[in-house]
Structure 1
Amino acid sequence: MFKKILIANRGEIACRVAATARRMGIKTVAVYSEADARAKHVQACDEAVLIGGPAPRDSYLQWQRILDAAKATGAQAVHPGYGFLSENEDFAQACADAGLAFIGPPPSAIKDMGLKAESKRLMEKAGVPLVPGYHGADQNPELLKREADRIGYPVLIKASAGGGGKGMRAVMNAAEFDAALASCKREAINSFGDDAVLIERYVQKPRHIEIQVFGDSHGDCVYLFERDCSVQRRHQKVLEEAPAPGMTEERRREMGEAAVAAAKAVGYQGAGTVEFIAEQDGRFYFMEMNTRLQVEHPVTEAITGQDLVEWQLRVAAGQPLPLKQSELRMHGHAIEARICAENPEAGFLPATGALNVARWPAHVSFTRGDVRLDAGVGEGDAISPYYDSMIAKLIVWGEDRDQALARLDAALRDTHIVGLHTNVAFLRRCAATKSFSGADLDTGLIERERAALFEAPGLPLRVSAAAVVAHALAVEAMQQTDDPWSRRDGWRMYGAATRRFDLDTGEGRVQVQLSRRHQGGMQLTVAGEQIEFAVNSVGTESHELLLGSERIAVKVYAFGEKLAVFAPQGSASITEIDPIAHAGEGAAEAGRLTAPMPGKMVSFLAQPGDKVTKGQPLAVMEAMKMEHTISAPRDGVVAELLFAVGDQVGDGAELLRMEG
């Protein structure tokens, strides 16, 4: 077994690999960019080496620097994690040439499976079911369109060298094809350096089911059952679970054996995932193979009790697989939720900023536990524009799916993140939808459940208002002295004391009035409703509210005027307004077209002099590895473009000026 390995990655996967290595007595070396000097993965390893600037192309994609770091520190092997260089056959070969074990498949397997078109041809020879499509080398746009017409709409355009949902578009009719192809090719060349695409029939109401496979250097290969990854936004996974609901033993065996056949066709070694598109009637088609450890591997670990990173290390060291196919068992049900810095209500636009608060449910680590958290950041850290938007992975396990769902809801309820937009509330709503809770799964679930996911009411105003008042009272109570004339408890010799709170809920301003009766007791008036009010606070964050006969436990985190409220029903962001300080503020900023985050200008969809309407797409930006379309905030006329295509723009920068 290796004595020291280098982890050529960052974030939660680097922390995850380091934890297993430590348990096995293997020393670890971290590499880091200038942006990650104080990152969690750097602290998790025994040694760390700086390899370049913040952008991945200047650090985590600089494989010669990584190899130099491995040699300088005496590492015997390199674990690539996922993303970055994990599926780069040239890097895997460079490791071998440098005398380093690559903790992954052989370079030839990466190459064969890395190009989707080539992998389809290999799978056809191996007898693995394929969805109808075009996987040819000729990339003439006119030919591609003819092939799409032949296959029949809707079709799916996919970057041949892609992954993670990048360079992928569903095209519903011929009129949309040209624009979708151009966008796919742009995204593909920026993400993978290769703009080749393939075209496939777009299966209606498909399920995304993947099989975890493992091969060793002794010719053995097994499958560790399946995962259902159907819940996706922008072709990227949101919730993953194992086993797949409704999977019969016969179908599980068929898919597992097909996945093993796919792996053996390329002489596969190490951890890999064979992904299938499945019809509702159970028919399935090979989609692609990911030649690395997957983001969602923890759900497989949870139901099998196996540490897949340990398996990787043992196989890379030349050992046989720890278990035979007949020895593998699964127990219970596991679900993973990807917690990301993004705004679901704004088209899942990635967010950047500091994690002012990052509080997690009680959790354990590794292969089995009711709740597991894999995170590469903590409270006080920042999510930068340079890397993926994922903050953490929350994994729950239960004896059955119903128990796992209940534990997921409780874990998401107890996850409190403040400082930037996240998808935590969205994930909780998603897991509670009729479709997901009832296991009616397909890749269109989010769109089908749009009303429940995007139009659902938030935290009731009376709860968030009462929480803000409770926080204010708790802060004042901690500041009180024994001097009766300095007390701010509202005592009056006669009558009631009243106090006004002006709050901005994000949907408008609200006045809340707190009344303290002379004879005792308090009352809140919120939006004209009078509510009997009492509160019991522990510090300034934890409060037990009594609103009429309803008792509610809340948490409040305050940063200046801004307060974040978390309750069992949901969460809310509130700004407490000083009516004098904010007097005269109007809509000076309304109607400006600004960058929602740092990024690069890809294209402008309107020119000076063009009349545009509210909601019309006006610009395309690239940020955090994805393209984002920005729409007109109002009707008007484009007066001036303030940037050129290719320019880097900062967060909040005005992109173009509108008149009228």
Structure 2
Amino acid sequence: MFKKILIANRGEIANRIIQTCKKLNISSVAVFSEADKDSLHVRNADESFFIGPSVATESYLSLEKIVEVCLKSGAEAIHPGYGFLSENYSFVNQIEREGLTFIGPPSESIRIMGDKIESKIFAEDSGINTIPGSKEIINNFEDAKKIAKEVGFPVMVKASAGGGGKGMRIAKSDADIEDAFNSSINEAKSSFGDDRIFIEKYIEKPRHIEIQILADTYGNVIHLGERECSIQRRNQKIIEESPSSFVDEYLRNEMGEQAKKLSEEVGYTSAGTVEFIVDQNKDFYFLEMNTRLQVEHPVTELVTNLDLVEEMIRIASGEELRIKQEDIQFNGWAIEARIYAEDPERNFMPSTGRLKVYIPPKVPSGDVEGIRNDTGVQEGDEISIYYDPMISKLCTYGVDREEAIVKMQKALNNYVIKGIQNNVNFLSSIIRNKRFVSGDINTSFIDEVYPEGFSSKIDNNQDAFLCSLVAVYLYVKEQSRLIKKRSSNIFYEKSLVTKVGSYIYELRTYDRLENLIIEYEDSVISLESKWCPGDKLIDISIDNDLYSFKVEKIILGYLIEGLGFSDKIYIFTKQAFDLSKHMIKKEKKLDEKIIKCPMPGLVVSVNISEGQKIEMGDKLFTVEAMKMENIIKSDISGKIKKIYCAEGDSLASDQIMIEFE
């Protein structure tokens, strides 16, 4: 067994690997860039080394610097985590030449499987089901257009060296090809240093299901079942689960055997994942092989009770697999939700800044209650523009899917993040959605369920009334504390009016020590909670139904978040509400003559010129942020008076980009 391991990564995955190193009594060595000098993984590691500027190409993507630190530190092996250099053939080759151990597959396996075109040809030759498409690199837009027509729209334009949803674009017609081609090339080059592109048929409404494998150097290969990864935005997974509600025992075995066969054919060792696209008829096609530890590996760990990082380390150190295929048992259900620093209400634009408040759900010791939160940050940390915007991976485990969903909903409702935009409410909305709960999902789920985009504002009477009840409870308890009138024998009666958007409720309240009674129309409702003024979370029983919400006091009311929504509930006395109807409201005027940058980023292209007339929806700029390209389109029509930025400029959030006449 190794005595010292260098972790060539950052953030939550670096911390995850450090955790297993500690369990195995292995010394851990961290590397860090300028942006990460105070990061959690640096503090948690036994040793840490500075490797350069914040830009990934000069730090985490520098082969020479990482190998140099490995040799300098005396580490015997390198664990790459995921992303960065984890699937870089040249990096692994250099490690092998230096006589060091790479905790992962051989370089040749990475070379073959890391190239999307070569891996597809290899899989097809190995008897694995594959998707129709081009088998050669596409060098220019005209060739891309021609091949797309031959394959038949819709098509997926993909980076050959891609992964993690980057360098991938769907083109549904001729009109989409140019933007898809250019964006895929640019994104692939910045993320992987490799801008080779190919095209394949896009199978509509498929499921994205992958098989986890483990292989040692003695020829033993096993699979650990499937992960359902169909909930995606921008071709990047955001919710995963194991097992899949769509996969039966026969399909699991068929996919598992093909994954094992491919692994054997390519000479694979370590943990790896074979990804498949599965259509509605349960026909499945090879998508790619990820020659590394997957982001979503925790759900497999939870249902198999295996530590995949430990298995990788043991295999790399020369040990034989301790388990056989017949030993694998799948118990319970696990779900993972990726918490990202992004704004789902602005087309998932990345968000940067300081984590002013960071309170993840309470994680019991040993996952006794089935909650796990793999994170790389803590309160006060900075979310940087330079790297992937993931904050954490929240996992829940239950005896069945229903229990895992219930636990996930509560965990998300208790996840408090302030200072940056995040996707917690969006994830909560998905988990609550009837289609998700029933298992009716595919890779187009988000586009189908949120065709106009996501909004956290309350848009139905049921949620508006529920939040009104909670807000009134908070209000009455705070008022009771202020006037210090507490008695279990006396009711204090008060008439209140709540306003949630266009929803208005008149409620009569009776407060006593142990609970609050609310009358509304013909209903009498009992509310109980141990909440105290100042608490950011409330667990509340409403007629014996339990709920969890995040709460924040605002002027004239409360901001309440949970179950996928975040909205302001205003509270008035009956008299104050009647008087408010006669007050003149000030209307905010939007400045329609300017367009601002929606997030911090680098201007990759400027697609307009001064004096040009544009229409609503026209492409204006391409801005790169957190390794993803974002197309900025106009939300108004008009003539451009002045452009305030140029290609290569770094912009701050809300910085003015153009002005209209």
TM interval, short-chain normalised: 0.7 to 0.9
- Letter paired with 2:165: G
Q: Distance in 2 between matches of 1:157 and 1:82?
A: 23
Q: Distance in 1 between matches of 2:254 and 2:586?
A: 68
| 2:425–2:456 CA contact under 8 A, matched in 1 | no
Q: Distance in 2 between matches of 1:411 and 1:91?
A: 39
Q: Distance in 1 between matches of 2:12 and 2:554?
A: 27
Q: Distance in 2 between matches of 1:457 and 1:178?
A: 36
Q: Distance in 2 between matches of 1:559 and 1:61?
A: 45
Name the counterpart of 1:427: 427
| 1:307–1:366 CA contact under 8 A, matched in 2 | no
CA deviation vs aligned residue, 1:306-326 (integer Å, no higher than 9, x gap): 110010000000111121122
Aligned with residue 609 of structure 1, among 608, 611, 614: 611
CA deviation vs aligned residue, 1:139-190 (integer Å, no higher than 9, x gap): 2433332222111111111111111111111111223223322222222222
CA deviation vs aligned residue, 1:357-394 (integer Å, no higher than 9, x gap): 22222324778861111111122222111111111111
Name the counterpart of 2:560: 565
Return closer, same or farther for 1:470/1:403 CA change in 2, 3 Å cut-off: closer
1:200 shift after superposition: 0.9
Return closer, same or farther for 1:464/1:151 CA change in 2, 3 Å cut-off: same
CA deviation vs aligned residue, 1:408-437 (integer Å, no higher than 9, x gap): 222212222222221111111112222211
Return closer, same or farther for 1:173/1:215 CA change in 2, 3 Å cut-off: same
Moved more, 637-646 or 181-190: 181-190
Aligned 1:82-101 pairs, distance under 5 A? 82-101=82-101
Aligned with residue 650 of structure 2, among 645, 648, 651: 648
1:472 shift after superposition: 8.2
Q: Distance in 2 between matches of 1:444 and 1:497?
A: 49
1:232 shift after superposition: 0.7
Name the counterpart of 2:532: 538
Return closer, same or farther for 1:57/1:514 CA change in 2, 3 Å cut-off: farther
Aligned 1:203-242 pairs, distance under 5 A? 203-242=203-242
Q: Distance in 2 between matches of 1:447 and 1:565?
A: 26
Return closer, same or farther for 1:516/1:325 CA change in 2, 3 Å cut-off: closer
CA deviation vs aligned residue, 1:500-532 (integer Å, no higher than 9, x gap): 99x9x9x89x99999999xxx9999xxxxxx99
Name the counterpart of 1:313: 313
Return closer, same or farther for 1:235/1:588 CA change in 2, 3 Å cut-off: closer
Is the counterpart of residue 32 in structure 1 residue 27 in structure 2?
no
- Letter paired with 1:565: I
| 2:457–2:566 CA contact under 8 A, matched in 1 | no
| 1:14–1:41 CA contact under 8 A, matched in 2 | yes
Is the counterpart of residue 556 in structure 1 residue 551 in structure 2?
yes
Return closer, same or farther for 1:168/1:562 CA change in 2, 3 Å cut-off: farther
Moved more, 405-414 or 560-569: 560-569
Name the counterpart of 1:111: 111
1:68 shift after superposition: 2.1
Name the counterpart of 1:621: 623
Q: Distance in 2 between matches of 1:449 and 1:390?
A: 23
Name the counterpart of 1:658: 660
Q: Distance in 1 between matches of 2:68 and 2:231?
A: 41
Return closer, same or farther for 1:475/1:65 CA change in 2, 3 Å cut-off: farther
1:337 shift after superposition: 0.8
Q: Distance in 2 between matches of 1:44 and 1:546?
A: 39
| 2:4–2:28 CA contact under 8 A, matched in 1 | yes
- Letter paired with 1:355: L
| 2:112–2:118 CA contact under 8 A, matched in 1 | yes
Return closer, same or farther for 1:455/1:648 CA change in 2, 3 Å cut-off: closer
- Letter paired with 1:287: L
Q: Distance in 2 between matches of 1:30 and 1:564?
A: 40
Moved more, 461-470 or 611-620: 461-470
Name the counterpart of 2:490: none
Return closer, same or farther for 1:586/1:555 CA change in 2, 3 Å cut-off: closer
Name the counterpart of 1:6: 6
CA deviation vs aligned residue, 1:49-107 (integer Å, no higher than 9, x gap): 11122221222112222222222222111111001111111111222222221111111
- Letter paired with 1:376: G
Return closer, same or farther for 1:226/1:545 CA change in 2, 3 Å cut-off: closer
Return closer, same or farther for 1:298/1:573 CA change in 2, 3 Å cut-off: farther
Q: Distance in 2 between matches of 1:230 and 1:87?
A: 23
Q: Distance in 2 between matches of 1:101 and 1:179?
A: 41
Aligned 1:374-523 pairs, distance under 5 A? 374-450=374-450, 454=454, 457-458=457-458
| 2:104–2:312 CA contact under 8 A, matched in 1 | yes
- Letter paired with 1:61: L
Return closer, same or farther for 1:43/1:476 CA change in 2, 3 Å cut-off: farther
Moved more, 218-227 or 304-313: 218-227
Name the counterpart of 2:597: 595
- Letter paired with 2:589: A
Name the counterpart of 2:489: none
Q: Distance in 2 between matches of 1:441 and 1:283?
A: 16
Q: Distance in 1 between matches of 2:382 and 2:476?
A: 31
- Letter paired with 2:326: S
Q: Distance in 2 between matches of 1:397 and 1:550?
A: 22
Name the counterpart of 1:59: 59
Return closer, same or farther for 1:467/1:358 CA change in 2, 3 Å cut-off: farther
After superposition, the CA RMSD in angstroms is 4.0
Q: Distance in 2 between matches of 1:331 and 1:196?
A: 42
Name the counterpart of 1:271: 271
Q: Distance in 1 between matches of 2:248 and 2:504?
A: 57
Q: Secondary structure at the match of 1:637?
A: strand
1:272 shift after superposition: 0.8
Q: Secondary structure at the match of 1:54?
A: coil
1:328 shift after superposition: 1.5
- Letter paired with 1:256: G
Return closer, same or farther for 1:97/1:437 CA change in 2, 3 Å cut-off: same
- Letter paired with 1:540: G
Aligned 1:292-311 pairs, distance under 5 A? 292-311=292-311
Aligned 1:148-227 pairs, distance under 5 A? 148-227=148-227
1:475 shift after superposition: 8.2
1:605 shift after superposition: 2.9
Q: Give the TM-score taking structure 2 as reference length.
A: 0.86
Q: Secondary structure at the match of 2:335?
A: strand
Return closer, same or farther for 1:465/1:178 CA change in 2, 3 Å cut-off: same
Q: Secondary structure at the match of 2:60?
A: coil
Return closer, same or farther for 1:469/1:607 CA change in 2, 3 Å cut-off: farther
Return closer, same or farther for 1:469/1:604 CA change in 2, 3 Å cut-off: farther
Q: Name structure 2 gaps, 5 residues minimum.
A: 486-492, 519-523, 572-579
Q: Name structure 1 gaps, 5 residues minimum.
A: 481-486, 490-495, 525-530
Q: Give the TM-score taking structure 1 as reference length.
A: 0.86
Name the counterpart of 1:73: 73
1:122 shift after superposition: 0.8
| 1:466–1:545 CA contact under 8 A, matched in 2 | no
Q: Distance in 2 between matches of 1:563 and 1:214?
A: 50
Name the counterpart of 2:633: 631
Name the counterpart of 1:285: 285
- Letter paired with 1:212: Q
Return closer, same or farther for 1:557/1:168 CA change in 2, 3 Å cut-off: same
Q: Distance in 2 between matches of 1:544 and 1:266?
A: 52
Q: Distance in 2 between matches of 1:658 and 1:310?
A: 58
Q: Distance in 2 between matches of 1:539 and 1:140?
A: 62
Q: Secondary structure at the match of 1:167?
A: strand
Q: Secondary structure at the match of 1:189?
A: helix
